[in-house]
Amino acid sequence: MRRPWLAATFSGSLGLGLCLGASCVDAFVSSPFAAPARESDAGLGSGAPDAATSELDDEDPRPEFVFGAPCVDDAQCDDGIECTIGVCDPERRVCRYSADDASCDDGVFCNGSERCELRMGCRPGPPTTCSDATPCTIDVCDEATRSCLRRPRDMDGDGDVDANCETGRDCNDLNPDVSSQAPELCGDGVDGDCDGEVDEADCQLPRFDTCDDPLVLSAAGSYVLEPVGAQLNYGAGCAPAAPNLRELVLELRVPAGPARDYDLLARTPLGELALATIAGCGGEPAEESCRPGSFLSTGESVSRLRLRSPAPGAYSIYLWTTTATPVQLELAELPASAEPSNQSCQTTQELTAGEAVTVSLASTGEPLESRCGTQIGDLYYSFTLAQPSDVRLSAQALDQLGLPRISLRNQSCAEPEAELSCSQGAVALVRHHSLPAGTYSAGLSSSAPGDVELLLELSPPTAAPDTDRCETAPELLANRTSQATFVDHIADIDANCAPAFSDAAWALELTETSDVLLTARFSPGDVGAIGLMEEACGVADVRACSRGGINPARVSEQGVPAGRYRVVLESARGLPATLTAAVRPARARTLVPTSDDCIGILTIPEDGGFFQGNTQNHDNDFSASCDFATPAGSPDQLLRLVLDRPRRVLLDMRGSNFDTLLNVRQGAECPGQELAGMCAVAVGEDQSYLDVQLPAGEYFLQLDGYAGSFGAWFLDVFLMDP
């Protein structure tokens, strides 16, 4: 909850809030998808005499506020939800909560406006829709301009609007070489320009398709190539395998005068590209002269070719493309340089600490096998430490052409086991504490052939955090939440779930065969992974990994033998996180054939358990505030939970085969009343999850489906002291 006097800044809750009064319940709720609360649901399980809503309209059918637990001042109205504003109502003497949507805004336009749902917290809004309901436009949301872009529908990508949208233009919407904008090509028997005539007198051959008609590049600048009608005449070289591969011929003319480099960059929004220099036009390109394309994060394909200090004369170049989409060429003249010699582990370039090196990855050498994979080869660097030192090696992208990658390695360099750590990003960064004296190598690559600034920094040796390596991993207390930091950590643990992320390790000892649930909650804006590993922490020692991109991340395994293990936590941005290892003695799976309503209800044992049921043959008995109303509703089942003291309860429905809804109810009589903030839905693989603090009392767990769904479900229940 946001205090009414705090600024509207969204930050995820990493701790459990305080709770005052028997009717007050504080919760962590994980629900990647949640429907807006319905008017009829306002006040369910609030613990207050009633609930109030504002007048609702079609644009925002949400309650303006809801009431909660009894209070005497605002300090008692913390519901643990960051985006709500809680005040103590002076007349009713109960907490009144209102939503602050602004605190949920993630700053991204195209994913829609995030909303604050009372009792549940920030939820994604519907993505920005740009559809104009007109089938003749392609509507996309453009994040750069924060607006909708609408392009005429062009099925074959030839630049002409489809014939069923605008008559008199494209006469073949399935052939990209035919349109009102295309030239009439001679001898193909096709009306290429859609004028109703075939091979008329002004027909022409495809441009730049042969060595007799190259695109002449005589000066730096921008060029546009139209691949319409081009064929594959001279061989595919390093071009992508594609049935519609086209080949264009370029001729670079180098004048007499001072030596200089020529840098050619080709890019296209559709398809794939490749470039190669040719010893003689019409021949097959040599493999070493080929530059295959790379994909950028924008979806563009790029290929880059650099001719270093060529002698005056004419040079033939092939450009391959897999579509008829225009190709943008940029030719730049640069200061003369030699081909980099550091293209293998045997020919490294020495780095000097504190001196940045600007590197062009247009020319690279042998590719390295690394945990952080890239699309192009590497350039190789080395440095020698006369004494143990802290090492910081960074590579920063200087343009928008790809994400640089650093692979720090020992002196053996080329072998896969030589890699000490790796990193990839707009700023790739590896750091090591007290790296022993000796010689080290670094491979520099990227996801695309961009320009990079590489910098080595050395400092006096310091001790690494004990969580930085599996060998020094501290003990992780079972059934407790620990704070995790990634400060001064690197991506260097072999047993991992996310190779390029910063990692940290803890030791987990099981004294008996146990069921284990690992959960990690990351800071807002961060994602990561959590994994259970064998003690050796080698590549083959991974037992279980969480699914990527989910917060909180979680992974579980039943019947883990007694022994020592490692818990490895990984973060994309290295921000603080929390870590919990829930452990209980291994239990057999419990089938729940009945528990349709309050008749024949099954009670969960004091130490939790793993339960399995199926709602398909049951009735729709109960509603829930986070459900999406359907005429038939969803069938449901109930489980009973009795707590003799306050407990932290973890409820995980992963493995269920439908979109689930999990709801916690409380009361001396079945089915009790829904508790505020304890209804979680999930769509897709992850399924409903709740991590809640509950006072002593009797509770009922509603196993339900979201928006009418039903099927086989699983529920893992772990009970811990707060």
Q: Convert the pLDDT of each residue in 572-602 to its tens digit.
A: 888 899 999 999 999 889 999 888 888 889 9
Residue 22 pLDDT exceeds 50: no
For the chain, domain boundaries: 27-123, 349-459, 466-574, 590-720
Could you say which of 2.60.120.380, 2.40.50.140, 2.30.30.100, 2.40.30.10 is the CATH number of the domain covering 590-720? 2.60.120.380
Q: Record the tokens describing residue 94, joined without a space.
A: 């109960």
DSSP character for 572? S
Kindly report, residue by residue over 428-457, the tens digit of the pLDDT: 888 899 999 999 999 999 999 999 999 999
Residue 34 pLDDT exceeds 90: no
Separation CA 309–CA 287 (nearest Å)? 20
Environment class of residue 55 by beta-carbon count within 10 Å: exposed (0-12), middle (13-18) or buried (19+)? Answer: exposed
Residue 47 pLDDT exceeds 80: no
Please indicate whether the domains covering 466-574 and 590-720 agree at the CATH topology level.
Answer: yes
Separation CA 395–CA 358 (nearest Å)? 9
pLDDT at 60: 52
pLDDT at 33: 28
State the amino acid at position 350 in one-letter form.
E
Question: What CA–CA distances, in Å, run from 603 to 344, 660, 688?
Answer: 65, 21, 20
The top-level CATH class assigned to 349-459 is mainly beta
Separation CA 660–CA 615 (nearest Å)? 11
Query: Following DSSP, what letter does each residue of 165-197 receive, concatenated?
Result: TSTTS-S-TT-TT-STTS--BTTS-S-TTSSS-
pLDDT at 226: 84
Separation CA 44–CA 323 (nearest Å)? 58
Q: Assign 288 to helix, strand or coil.
A: helix
pLDDT at 1: 53
State the amino acid at position 202 in one-letter form.
D
Report which of 641, 646, 656 is spatially closest to residue 608, judged by C-alpha positions. Answer: 641
pLDDT at 318: 94
pLDDT band at 61 (very low <50, low <70, confident <90, very high): low
Separation CA 68–CA 517 (nearest Å)? 32
Q: Record the tokens describing residue 91, joined without a space.
A: 């007349």
Separation CA 107–CA 409 (nearest Å)? 39
Residue 44 pLDDT exceeds 70: no
Residue 13 pLDDT exceeds 50: no
pLDDT band at 167 (very low <50, low <70, confident <90, very high): confident
pLDDT at 36: 32
Q: Record the tokens describing residue 95, joined without a space.
A: 């907490």
CA 416, 418, 421, 422 torsion: positive or negative? negative
Mean pLDDT for 669-681 is 91
Residue at token pair 């005040």: 87
Q: Determine which of 70-74, 336-340, 447-451 has the lowest per-residue pLDDT on average.
A: 70-74
Q: Determine which of 16-25, 89-98, 446-455 has the lowest per-residue pLDDT on average.
A: 16-25
pLDDT at 38: 31
The larger pLDDT score, comparing residue 147 to residue 12, is at 147
pLDDT at 456: 96
Separation CA 281–CA 273 (nearest Å)? 19
CB 68, CB 77: distance < 8 Å = yes
Separation CA 67–CA 53 (nearest Å)? 10
> What are the residues whose beta carbons fall under 8 Å from the beta carbon of 669, sequence distance 6 or more?
none
Mean pLDDT for 545-551 is 82
Dihedral, 453, 456, 457, 461 alpha carbons, nearest 10: 150
Q: Determine which of 4-18, 117-131, 670-684 has the lowest per-residue pLDDT on average.
A: 4-18
> What are the residues whose beta carbons fall under 8 Å from the beta carbon of 172, sequence distance 6 or more?
156, 178, 179, 194
CA gyration radius, the chain: 31
Residue 526 pLDDT exceeds 90: no
pLDDT band at 458 (very low <50, low <70, confident <90, very high): very high
Residue at token pair 């303006």: 64
Report which of 438, 480, 501, 470 is spatially closest to residue 564, judged by C-alpha positions. Answer: 470
> What are the residues whose beta carbons fall under 8 Å from the beta carbon of 337, sequence distance 6 or more?
261, 308, 309
pLDDT band at 698 (very low <50, low <70, confident <90, very high): very high
Structural domain 466-574, CATH architecture? Sandwich (2.60)
Residue 59 pLDDT exceeds 50: no
The larger pLDDT score, comparing residue 9 to residue 425, is at 425
Strand pairing category for 660-666 and 673-682:
antiparallel
pLDDT at 248: 93
Residue 105 pLDDT exceeds 80: no
Percentage of residues in the chain having pLDDT higher than 70: 86
Separation CA 374–CA 372 (nearest Å)? 7
pLDDT at 304: 93
Q: Is the peptide bond before 671 cis (omega within 30 degrees of 0)?
A: yes
* Residues across the chain: 722
Residue 50 pLDDT exceeds 60: no
> What are the residues whose beta carbons fall under 8 Å from the beta carbon of 475, sequence distance 6 or more?
506, 507, 508, 509
Write down the mean pLDDT value for the chain. Answer: 82
Kindly report, residue by residue over 271-303, the tens digit of the pLDDT: 899 999 998 898 888 877 889 888 887 778 999
Residue 31 pLDDT exceeds 70: no
Q: Record the tokens describing residue 589, joined without a space.
A: 């799976």
